[in-house]
Amino acid sequence: MMGNPCIDCLGCRLANNQEKSHVIFEDSFVTCLLDHKPFNEGHLLILPKTHIVEIDELDAEHILAVMDAAKLMTKSVKTLFTPDGVTLSQNGGMFNELTHFHMHIVPRYKEECFGDFYTQIPQYAEKDDALAATAQKIRRVIQQMSL
């Protein structure tokens, strides 16, 4: 159910900056951060700041905030990394490893099979300093887009 941030929920702690992460963008409804095990450089997550587990629990304000963030994150990833495409993904039920709603934004390239995206372990291993550098690059692109 939707509600205030929950201290026992990793997704809530990430979305509310109570866990170490590489935040790219946030507003009063959502936080966008780099996935700690990215499929490709620029793989982002969008998480609501309130405790929401499933997509069908999102109210109109949160749906709009998630989609506005998805649009901004997709545009920034496309500008910075020039992928062949971008996959947006949201896993629910037993596939929601955070037990908190989150949407993936993943830059993808033509040599990557769509099915492999869901069956392979991420191959792009970024260390924390590389994640920090990627986060800085994406934040810079977002700032330039808003000028």
Q: What is the pLDDT of residues 92-143, one digit of tens each?
A: 999 888 899 999 999 999 887 766 666 665 555 567 788 898 999 999 999 8
- Number of folded domains in the chain? 1
Neighbour count for residue 61 (Cβ, 10 Å): 12
The residue behind tokens 């260390």 is: 127
d(CA 112, CA 90): 19
2 falls within a domain: no
- Beta-bridge partner residues of 107: 86
18 falls within a domain: yes
CATH code at 78?
3.30.428.10
81 falls within a domain: yes
Q: Do residues 15 and 3 touch, judged by C-beta distance below 8 A?
A: no
Q: Is the pLDDT of residue 1 over 50?
A: no
Over range 6-24, report the average pLDDT. Answer: 93
What is the domain range of residue 56?
A: 10-112+120-137
142 falls within a domain: no
Strand 44-48, strand 85-90: pairing? unpaired
d(CA 124, CA 9): 26
Q: What is the pLDDT of residues 50-80, one digit of tens each?
A: 999 999 999 999 999 999 999 999 999 999 9
5 falls within a domain: no
37 falls within a domain: yes
